[in-house]
Structure 1
Amino acid sequence: MRSACAFIFFASLSVVGGALAQSATDLTVTGTITPAACAPMLSGGGEFNFGMIAAQDLDQEAITNFISPARQLSVACSAPTRFALRAVDGRAGTQPTVTIDNFGLGLSGVERIGEYKLRTTGYAADGSAAIDVLESRDAGSSWLKAPSDESYLFNTNGPNLTAVGGIGANEPSAIEVLTTDLAVSMAITAAKNLTLTDEVTIDGAATLEVVYL
């Protein structure tokens, strides 16, 4: 059960030679104390290294796409817990196009190198694959079944969440262990938009978040 407390801060202003005037503004303090804790873990130390990419292999006029091998993402909770996933972009604002699931690859000078998505597939909850992947576009107030088991983790530039529930469920289930395969789908911007006379360092970074519901 959510608990909240609130207090009101009052401010007053005295005007010399006139009547006392008062103004006030409300301030609320809210939060949730959860009885269980969930810890996310990504195999391979969370590193997706695409190695050396030759400039000549990049398309001059359009983006060049790459896909990484998948790593296992797991979330282990100390007790059955309702939670969702999203990611925080460590290079926010560097992606050429801003969408609900694009993350930036950093800058080369002032040039935007490209963007990537965090593709997930093969979800299992407490060892069972008999689940539906659910998505929320309003911070968990309502949920819809994802178009397919292949989904993309949302960037925190919007109130979007990914979770799992039982078959036909209209909200996430309380589970102890969630597993899924996660791969990076990377798009390097058209080569004509990059200065490639020196090495360009791909510098994407993100933090995976568990959001308690």
Structure 2
Amino acid sequence: MRLPAVFLLGAFAVAAPAAFASSGADLTLAGTIKPEACEITTSGRNMRVGTVSTQDLNRDSYSRLANKWFGLYVHCKAPTRFALKAADNRADSAVLPDDASAEDRERAYGLGWGNGTKIGYYLVNFKPERIWTRYKELGYLTHSSDQGINWNTAGADVHFKPGEYVGVSTRAGHSTGPSALTYMGVSMDIEVNIAPLRQLDVSENFRVDGSAVVELNYL
């Protein structure tokens, strides 16, 4: 996916002292131009869970399917600070066990609807040993829940929650956000959980239909 250039234009104002007339006015025009510096690619656009028989699903508890692996890579023309953000296109369909933790509820993605019922949810888990800032150099995850204003300590466990910024630093133990990189590669496990059979309408076949978009944001 090729990212568009970002152009931010600051507001401008024309002002004169209230008590005096003036034959001129000051004009301030401010802006930031960020070039189209980076490209984001993936190991594949679609991940398939295959055909699952109802006989292989639990009646009264969630069924966890085999994890799927997913790779994501960013190449930049020059060292650039950026963060990834995921948007869940099926957020209204995520359904979790009643005893699920608040953390899991925040990071769950929906699997769509099957015959009018919610199918379940999936989680996106980073693999810390497979985060690279160059082809042989290990990177450290950091994330922000306020759109890049504050960052957690690099190197701590980070999950890919919908709506949060996730970046990579070249060093651990600081909270200044992602490093300027020319390359980043991450591996993720996709953990799929299907709702109990008693909650599903299995009178007809239905598709697992999770969908999310990963955005690259310049910082």
Q: Distance in 2 between matches of 1:31 and 1:209?
A: 23
Q: Distance in 1 between matches of 2:131 and 2:204?
A: 41
Pair 138,5 (structure 1): closer, same or farther in 2 beyond 3 Å = same
State the identity %: 28
Q: Does the residue aligned with 2:156 lie in a helix, a strand or coil?
A: coil
Report the equivalent of 1:40: 40
Pair 83,100 (structure 1): closer, same or farther in 2 beyond 3 Å = farther
Shift of 1:99: 3.1
| Alignment match of 2:180 (pick from 174, 184, 206) | 174
Residue deviations 1:129-160 (CA, integer Å, cap 9, x gap): 33321111211111113533xx432212xxx2
Residue deviations 1:9-52 (CA, integer Å, cap 9, x gap): xxxxxxxxxxxxxxxxxxxxx98531342221111x22110101
Task: Please give the residue correspondences for 1:87-126 in structure 2 after superposition, counting only pairs within 5 Å.
Answer: 87-97=86-96, 99-121=105-127, 122-126=130-134
Uncovered stretches (5+) of structure 2, i.e. residues with no partner: 1-6, 14-29, 97-103
Q: Does the residue aligned with 1:47 lie in a helix, a strand or coil?
A: coil
Shift of 1:58: 0.9
Number of residues of Structure 1 aligned to a counterpart in Structure 2: 185
> Are 1:129 and 2:137 an aligned pair?
yes
Amino acid in the other structure paired with 1:123: I
| Alignment match of 2:193 (pick from 165, 187, 196) | 187
Pair 54,186 (structure 1): closer, same or farther in 2 beyond 3 Å = same
Residue deviations 1:161-200 (CA, integer Å, cap 9, x gap): 1111122332210001100112211111111100112112
Measured on the aligned residues, the alpha-carbon RMSD in Å equals 2.3
Report the equivalent of 1:60: 59
Higher strand share: 1
Report the equivalent of 1:83: 82
Q: Distance in 1 between matches of 2:143 and 2:204?
A: 42
Q: Distance in 1 between matches of 2:132 and 2:108?
A: 24
Q: Distance in 2 between matches of 1:31 and 1:119?
A: 37
> Are 1:6 and 2:11 an aligned pair?
yes
| Alignment match of 1:153 (pick from 150, 153, 160) | 160
Report the equivalent of 1:13: none
Q: Distance in 1 between matches of 2:108 and 2:168?
A: 21
> Are 1:198 and 2:197 an aligned pair?
no
Q: TM-score, normalization: structure 2?
A: 0.76
